[in-house]
Amino acid sequence: MGQSYMHIGSSSAMLKQFFFKRFLLLLFLFSLLIPVFFLSIASGAYSLSLGDVIRCLLDPRGENPSSIAHTIVWFYRVPRTIGALIAGAVLAVAGALIQGITRNPLASPFTLGISSAASFGAGLVIVLGLKLALVSREFLVTSSGYVVVALTAWTICFLHTLLILMLVYVKGFSPESIVLAGIAMTYVYSAGITFLQYFAGEYQLREYVYWIMGDITRVDWGRLWVLVAALLVTAVSAPFFAWGLNTLALGDDVAKSLGVDPRRVRFAIALIASIATATVISVTGPIAFVCLMAPHIARLITGSDNRYLLPASIAVGAAILTLSDVVARIALKPVELPVGAVTSALGAAFFISLYMGRRRQVVMG
């Protein structure tokens, strides 16, 4: 009962404070990326001190080219770190967007079948391409070979997205139809992937499984620009849909009565989030759980208002993937794990704790 007296005499100033606090939290989340960045540059098989890191970063041209530290920082760690930051950001914001349009906190671009589509596409080249001698083993390990795999993965994702949108259009763009279409198509690709794996030779299988795990080491300076493009597209377009996504949380009828066309929002968001995710995972391979976990954590920190949730997801996703990559590098030093393995383990732990927490809440409530 004491609670009902708590707010007497308070006013809109409290609301102002509430939203301002969220803004501050957002700034805080983004400021966290600075130490994360330095930590990532410093850690790995060859660990560097913070002093080394700063010295190397301040000297991009490398006045002292013989320095190993300089080579490691500028050729490996910087593109890899920026790659992890951006890939994490894009995956996370895409996850938040898909959760918004499906009104389902357990949905993600992967639920829509994007990762299966990409894996299937990559398999077409790595397994079928080799088998039919369309590409050679030597070609596949070159940079151009890598581009062919990525482009094929991306193209399959793109076609998949168009197919999903068509299926969903037929069903009137309901949130359920999006999830169901995605799951149905995931089964189709799973079947395809199983076939590819069965017929793959030993070498092809190893390469293929490695690709499917998802790894950030694949990012170099050239490939980084692809990720930057994906981030720009999502970061620029997502804010336009923040309010629309907010209204969708109250159901399609309320959204319509507030002047929002749910079908248009769903169509645009599904397209943007799918393509952005496809772009990232074509480069890195499907990195699991970031797009599911990061929006959850962001929501716990800044709440459900998409004006804060979307940028918060960017920051949280960037931090999670970069830190996971740090763990991947140092956990079994000098052996490096694929970052997908780390995010999977992290995601599993996170969701088990979330599940236990939720049960407690239900018992209490």
Partner 1 sequence: MSSSARLRILGIDVYYDGYKALSNVEFEACPGEFIALLGPNGSGKTTLLKTIARVLKPRKGVIYIDSRKADELNDNEYAKIIGFLPPSDTSVIIRVPIKGVEVVAIGRKPHVTWSLTKADLEKIWSAMRIARVDVFAFRDVNELSSGERQRVMLARVLAQEPEVLLLDEPVSHLDPRYQVFMLKLIRSLTKDRKLVTIASLHDINLALRFSDKVILMKNGRVFAMGTPEEVITAENISEVYGVKAVVIRNPHPVVLIEDVIEDEPP
Q: Which parts of this chain interact with partner 1 (CB under 8 A)?
A: 3-4, 6-7, 10-12, 14-16, 18-19, 99, 103-105, 239, 242-243, 246-247, 249-254, 256-261, 299, 303-305, 307, 365
**Nearer CB in complex with partner 1: 57/354:** 354
Q: What contacts 121, CB < 8 A, 6 or more positions away?
A: 152, 153, 154, 155, 156, 157, 282
What are the two backbone dihedrals, phi and then psi, of residue 335, each rounded to the nearest 5 degrees?
Answer: -75, 140
Whichever of 259 and 334 has its CB closer to partner 1, that residue is 259
- Taking the C-alpha atoms of residue 93 and residue 3, their distance in angstroms, rounded to an integer, is 36
What's the closest the beta carbon of residue 277 comes to partner 1, in angstroms?
20
**Which residue lies nearer to partner 1 by CB, 18 or 187?**
18
Q: State in angstroms the smallest separation of the CB of 253 from partner 1.
A: 5
Q: Is the peptide bond before 334 cis (omega within 30 degrees of 0)?
A: yes
Least separation in angstroms between residue 258's CB and partner 1 is 5
Q: Are 185 and 163 in contact (CB under 8 A)?
A: yes
| Residue 104 or 217 with smaller CB distance to partner 1 | 104
Please, are residues 316 and 301 in contact by the beta-carbon 8 Å criterion?
yes
**What is the smallest separation between the CB atom of 307 and partner 1, expressed in angstroms?**
7
> CA-based Rg of the chain, rounded to a whole angstrom?
22
Give 332's strand partners: 335
The distance of closest approach from Cβ of residue 99 to partner 1 in the complex, given in angstroms and rounded to an integer, is: 8
Token couple for 230:
């994906």
State CA 147 to chain mean position distance.
20
Taking the complex as a whole, the smallest distance from the CB of residue 303 to partner 1 amounts, in Å, to: 6
User: Is 318:89 a contact under the CB 8 Å cutoff?
Assistant: yes
Residue closer to partner 1, measured from CB, 93 or 230: 93
Q: Is the CB of 15 or the CB of 45 nearer to partner 1? A: 15
Of 94, 30, 43, 109, the C-alpha closest to 323 is: 43
- Please identify, using beta-carbon distances, which residue of 31 and 257 lies nearer to partner 1: 257
DSSP single-letter state for residue 255: H
Closest to partner 1 by CB, 162 or 254: 254
Smallest gap from residue 349 Cβ to partner 1 (A): 21
Spell out a b/e string for 119-153, using b for 16 or more CB atoms within 10 Å of the CB, else e: bbbbbbbbbbbbeeeebeeeebeeeebbebbbebb
Q: How far is the CB of 26 from partner 1 (least distance, A)?
A: 13
